A and B are shown apart, each in its own frame.
Chain A
């Protein structure tokens, strides 16, 4: 069986994660245990072969920490919202399936965004169109197109956070151009609309 050799550096994040899981499960982070875990992780990653995840090569901790905070805050809000809707609306709930096109073409980013979205605003990914990186989300309590627009901007905000944390440089450049345009628009309108 011939297969492409994966460079060790691409495998490294996976192996580090497996070593952390190993240490956590043994509740033992002594060097000996970690080295043994590393050997097992290396063996597992090479024997039970999976296509490597294409990482972008950047990870910005400065954005990651506030993102975790925002994530937990939104998770609490979403949980109570679901609770409240189930108590007050229950069977009379009106939902919608909303299509949201993401900026990024990267599989990793589309997947991460989809994951985050299933947990934070009131949405659930029911279909992914990989060719156009469009997510189809089922959202609770959407009655008007305005509600759908709010969901869409929320989704794109979440994606922007993830791009800033771990998106490719191209995506980041795209995002910065977009920000600049938005700023220019704001300046031109002179704060009339907001």
Chain B
């Protein structure tokens, strides 16, 4: 009886994790630019990993494994935002993104202002890729 319950819970966790992997994949395929794709690569994947680890913990039924699984997830939590930030930041700076898809860009205003302050003699219309 107890075993069946645990098996069902494991199955739910595994299916949920698989669904989240699909979500990340669909997002990578369908989102239009790099920054949007980074969203798909971070959130569903972290949740997916959590569900898979839960499934492992439920099936193995040993307490000694729990800290490893937790450390595993914590490292995921620590590293995923950093990598997403680095890729996103590099993408933004090298303009690997579609500006036409942004409804507002408050960073661009700041960058523009800073650029004008540093070189006041430079013509601000020098950057033709900006709108």
A interface residues, Cβ below 8 angstroms from B: 20-21, 23-25, 27-29, 72, 75-76, 78-80, 82-83, 85-87, 90-99, 114-115, 117-119, 122, 124-127, 129, 136, 138, 140, 142-145, 148
Asked if B119 is an interface residue, CB under 8 A from chain A, the answer is: no
Name B71's contact: one of A20, A72, A80, A99 (CB within 8 Å). Answer: A20
7 of the cross-chain contacts (CB-CB < 8 Å) are A20-B71, A79-B46, A82-B23, A82-B44, A87-B30, A119-B46, A119-B80
Most chain B beta carbons < 10 A, residue from A80, A124, A125? A124
Asked if B67 is an interface residue, CB under 8 A from chain A, the answer is: yes
Q: Please state if A145 and B92 are interface contacts (CB–CB under 8 Å).
A: no
A95 to B51, CA, bound (A): 29
Q: Please state if A94 and B103 are interface contacts (CB–CB under 8 Å).
A: yes
Q: Please state if A86 and B26 are interface contacts (CB–CB under 8 Å).
A: yes
Q: What residue in chain A is nearest B98 (Cβ atoms)?
A: A95
Asked if B58 is an interface residue, CB under 8 A from chain A, the answer is: no
Q: Please state if A97 and B102 are interface contacts (CB–CB under 8 Å).
A: yes
The answer to whether A98 and B106 touch (CB under 8 A), given A114-B85, A119-B77, is: yes
CB distance from B15 to the nearest CB of A (A): 14
The answer to whether A93 and B36 touch (CB under 8 A), given A75-B43, A126-B92, A127-B89, is: yes
**Residues in A whose Cβ lies below 8 Å from that of B85:** 114, 118, 124-126
Q: What residue in chain B is nearest A126 (Cβ atoms)?
A: B88
CB distance from A21 to the nearest CB of B (A): 6
Q: Please state if A119 and B42 are interface contacts (CB–CB under 8 Å).
A: yes
Asked if B101 is an interface residue, CB under 8 A from chain A, the answer is: yes
